[in-house]
Amino acid sequence: MAAVSWSVLFLSLSLLSLIPPSTSDPTYVYSICDNATTFAINSKYHANLDTVLQSLSSNAAPLGSSLFFSTSAGTATPDAVYGLFLCRGDQNSTACRDCVTMAATTDLPTIYCP
């Protein structure tokens, strides 16, 4: 009787291991922006923003499998830009890269923080 119970338990656990882990959807869902935030398109701030977004995107490559990265551009207070990404632990490096690349290339700052 005990042998049957262990067999059922082992079979159940074996079947559970076949279920693939879930991954998160790389959909952009959140932004923090003061409604009064504006910047000129050809300003030093905009150039620094482009530099930070490019750096974030290039450091989210799947070969490096980086799930966290931070960077900055500019030293003067009104023109300084800081950026980081931190991907969830259940994301693989490809999903992380896709999410960061989407955020960096779809011009989200000018859409959400004009």
Most distant CA pair in the chain, distance:
78
If you classify domain 21-112 with CATH, what class do you get?
Answer: alpha beta
Q: For the chain, give the DSSP string.
A: -HHHHHHHHHHHHHHHTTSPPP------------TT----TTSHHHHHHHHHHHHHHHTT-TTTT-SEEEEEE-SSTTT-EEEEEE--TTS-HHHHHHHHHHHHHTTHHHHH--
pTM, entire model: 0.61
Structural domain boundaries in the chain: 21-112
Check whether 24 has a pLDDT greater than 60: no
Lowest mean pLDDT among 12-16, 46-50, 66-70, 95-99: 12-16
pLDDT in tens, 27-81: 555 666 666 667 787 889 889 988 998 888 888 766 655 678 888 999 888 889 8
